Chains A and B, each alone.
Chain A
């Protein structure tokens, strides 16, 4: 191989890698631009305030109403419930796997949790409809089991694998010397976990929780199947709700392209994007601050 050819092939490879990198960024920019273009068109018909804070979502009545506060509240309730369930369980599971479980059980648990992450969301939704929804109905004596609570429980199941595996990594990567220092000072195993390891792993725990939340907020299929799809501001976790994501998924097929309804669904997409962006931003700021 002569030098010229080697230089040329190096050049080609470099450019090919550069191109791949640029393309992924380009796609993100294009998607974002498209989302903005289609979504912002809605505001020729309704004000931003009426859109965000309007209580009624009647996109195809005459005149149509595009208020999404009930959808936002639906997402908030379902997500909040899922966080309350999944974050403590996920972190506790991560502590058990990384600090307490015997080596054999650790392997079994880790692959089990990875399998849980591999279940498609529509299957989780389906299992939820057939098992969880009747259970919630009977246990709480409700007229329907299709509630925010059912959605929260199913979403918690989907967030837990993410939270466990990232939090477990965080615990695993804590230098062993912190643990030794605590034990050598006479701390019990539990005191060591509670006062040192959780503290040391905190940035990782926050990251794990945020990624879990990210998964929950964006989830569509399972919540569409089991939360009842009622676009009404919920009074409690036992009410049926409809989330932002489910609304887009359910209505995009029937919205006429270029209609106000179509633009409204894209505007919901912008809202989702902003929420997810804010969560990631907060997580980022928090993680960077902790590390210093």
Chain B
């Protein structure tokens, strides 16, 4: 089942075209990874789905991104409800300079979507889902900035889970982490895909091949090839894809 359908998406930063006619259908409850060299537009594509590109001066977009039947690029589309449903994990862990618990309840407080009395339970559930509860249950009042980078990134995922999103966008979520932490976050993603649609941008091809069900390869703003991860890595149809994954291009 398709969760996100991107149709004829073009995006411009001023005169520079960062995305060219991108068409992609991202399936629900799967991990889809986007690979490609730096500057190929994979992060831009990700940030268009939750419309974080609206923050960039001079960014202009046409085409459609359809989630559950509605085009989220419509100027009248409600950004708050979009971002509630489409959470984002960033390259560098970015917990707020507040306590662990406040980080998790931030979304609830902003949206008014839960009663204060339920906060404790939600904090516990969210931390359990990212496997942080045992480590942090006695340190909920500590500043989130005192955690290790891996814990911070987990906390950022827990913070999203608390607002019950349907889609998780991950923009190189492991690039600030060491290999062991990376492996554990990958494990977490695989556990999460049961309940969430996950799109991950990564510069790490091994990561894409380890965790994702389907993979898209981007080059200079275009989606060159998109298909099942096995196919992309073992039997790509495009020569450019083959050159990139074998290290001859990029």
Residues of A in contact with B (beta carbons under 8 Å apart): 103, 175, 177-178, 180-188, 191, 195-196, 199-200, 292
Contact = CB atoms under 8 A, between A and B. Distances in A.
B217 to A, nearest CB: 25
Contact of B52 (A178, A183, A191, A195): A183
Interface stretch (B69-77, B82-90, B127-135): B82-90
Contacts, number: 66
A195 to B, nearest CB: 7
Given A195-B109, A195-B110, A199-B97, A185 B92 contact: no
A186 B84 contact: yes
Interface of A, secondary structure class, is helix
Interface stretch (B29-37, B155-163, B230-238): B155-163
B98 A186 contact: no
Contacts of B98: 199
A187 B81 CA distance: 10
Most chain B C-beta atoms within 10 Å of own C-beta, residue among A182, A186, A188: A186
Chain B residues touching A, range: 20 to 34
A178 B110 contact: no
A182 B110 CA distance: 9
B96 A196 contact: yes
Interface of B, secondary structure class, is helix
Contacts of A180: 52, 55, 90, 94
B80 interface: yes
Contacts of A200: 96-97
Contact of B55 (A181, A183, A186, A187): A183
A186 B167 CA distance: 13
B92 A186 contact: no
Contacts of A181: 90, 94-96, 156
24 contacts: A177-B92, A181-B90, A181-B94, A181-B96, A181-B156, A183-B52, A183-B55, A183-B83, A184-B83, A185-B83, A185-B110, A185-B159, A186-B82, A186-B83, A186-B110, A186-B163, A187-B80, A187-B106, A187-B107, A188-B110, A196-B96, A196-B106, A199-B96, A292-B143
